[in-house]
């Protein structure tokens, strides 16, 4: 479903990732761990095509880096759910509209939007806050909104880049439990973290990255 084979992607300064290989299978929970600056976010960026690999081979949900065209980016990203440490919500729109945003862009019918948004908001436990603005929510609640937005298109995988990095331990634990629930319902997870304490390795795949390289 996701496969990186010997992928190298360097920034102009020469940093980046080198010969990275990994796979994510349907339904799998995969941790990408390594120290700050190791290249975890860069691996995720290659997967959602924020950076272009210079060599190697990337396959994501049927899209292939060797034949990939720039105009395919929106179609690729619609197959992916992506969440970040800093939530990245639209601060001038309420919770409902933050989650509805991608559906409006793709001209989904109004009734469909309502049905889908209310369903994912219920899944993350935020139905009652649907008319609040992001600044009226706690950090943990804002991350739940971001998760709802990521899930509304039923992605093949949830890419999570340090999703608990800005949260206190209690809110972080709740978000981890939510991500685990999402995985148990069948969505694959690829989660980057430098915090080994978050890794519950039982029945999980753990990929280590150091100085831009995966090691096996
Ligand atoms: N836009 C950029 N331009 C130039 N260099 C960059 C850029 N983004 C990241 N880098 C460099 O690439 C390397 C890998 O960065 P990356 O953000 O992937 O690490 P990370 O493992 O996600 O770290 P952290 O745990 O701090 O988030 C680092 O040396 C970083 O300085
Ligand atoms: Mg990072």
Task: Give the confidence band of 54 by pLDDT, cuts at 50, 70, 90.
Answer: very high
- Sequence-ordered strand ranges (E) for 25-169: 29-33, 55-60, 63-64, 80-84, 157-161
- What pLDDT, on the 0 to 100 scale, is given for residue 146? 98
Determine whether the shortest distance from the Cβ of 194 to ligand 1 is under 6 A: yes
Instruction: Report pLDDT digits (tens) over 3-53.
Output: 999 999 999 999 999 999 999 999 999 999 999 999 999 999 999 999 999
Q: How far is the CA of 194 from the centre of ligand 1 (A)?
A: 13
Give the ligand with the smallest distance to the CA of 17.
1
Checking if the pLDDT of 121 tops 70, the result is: yes
Residue whose CA is at the smallest distance from ligand 1 atom 31: 37
- The average pLDDT across 118-134 equals 98
Testing ligand 1's pocket by substitution, the residue of 10, 32, 38 carrying the most ligand atoms inside 8 A of its CB is: 38
Residues 6+ apart with CB under 8 A from 215: 208, 209
Query: Exposed/middle/buried for 114, CB within 10 Å: 0-12, 13-18, 19+?
Result: middle
Checking if the pLDDT of 200 tops 80, the result is: no
Checking if the pLDDT of 202 tops 80, the result is: no
Determine whether the shortest distance from the Cβ of 16 to ligand 1 is under 6 A: yes
Instruction: Report pLDDT digits (tens) over 82-102.
Output: 999 999 999 999 999 999 999
- The average pLDDT across 52-70 equals 96
Q: How far is the CA of 92 from the centre of ligand 1 (A)?
A: 29
- What pLDDT, on the 0 to 100 scale, is given for residue 56? 97
Checking if the pLDDT of 195 tops 90, the result is: no
Query: Exposed/middle/buried for 85, CB within 10 Å: 0-12, 13-18, 19+?
Result: middle
Checking if the pLDDT of 216 tops 80, the result is: no
Query: Which element (helix H / strand E) includes 122?
Result: helix 110-123
% of the chain exceeding 70 in pLDDT = 99
Query: Exposed/middle/buried for 148, CB within 10 Å: 0-12, 13-18, 19+?
Result: buried
Is residue 199 within 8 A of residue 6, CB to CB? The reply is no
Q: How far is the CA of 167 from the centre of ligand 1 (A)?
A: 21
Short-list 185, 183, 114, 179, CA closest to 152: 114
- State the pTM of this model: 0.96
Rounded Cα distance, 163 and 124, in Å: 15
- What pLDDT, on the 0 to 100 scale, is given for residue 59? 98
């Amino acid at each position: 479903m996701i496969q990186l084979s010997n992928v190298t992607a360097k920034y102009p300064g020469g940093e980046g990732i080198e010969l990275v290989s990994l796979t994510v299978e349907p339904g799998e929970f995969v941790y990408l761990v390594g120290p700050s600056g190791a290249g975890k976010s860069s691996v995720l960026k290659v997967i959602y095509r924020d950076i272009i690999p210079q060599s190697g081979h990337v396959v994501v949900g049927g899209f292939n880096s060797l034949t990939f065209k720039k105009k395919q980016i929106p179609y690729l990203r619609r197959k992916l759910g992506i969440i970040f440490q800093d939530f990245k919500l639209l601060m001038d729109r309420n919770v409902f509209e933050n989650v509805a945003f991608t559906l409006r862009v793709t001209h989904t019918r109004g009734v469909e939007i309502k049905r889908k948004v209310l369903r994912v908001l219920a899944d993350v436990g935020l139905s009652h806050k649907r008319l609040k603005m992001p600044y009226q929510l706690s950090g943990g609640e804002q991350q739940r909104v971001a998760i709802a937005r990521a899930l509304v298109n039923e992605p093949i995988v949830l890419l999570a880049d340090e999703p608990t990095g800005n949260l206190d331990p209690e809110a972080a634990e709740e978000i981890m439990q939510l991500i685990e629930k999402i995985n148990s319902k069948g969505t694959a997870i690829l989660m980057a973290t430098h915090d080994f304490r978050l890794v519950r390795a039982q029945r999980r795949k753990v990929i280590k990255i150091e100085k831009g390289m995966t090691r096996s």
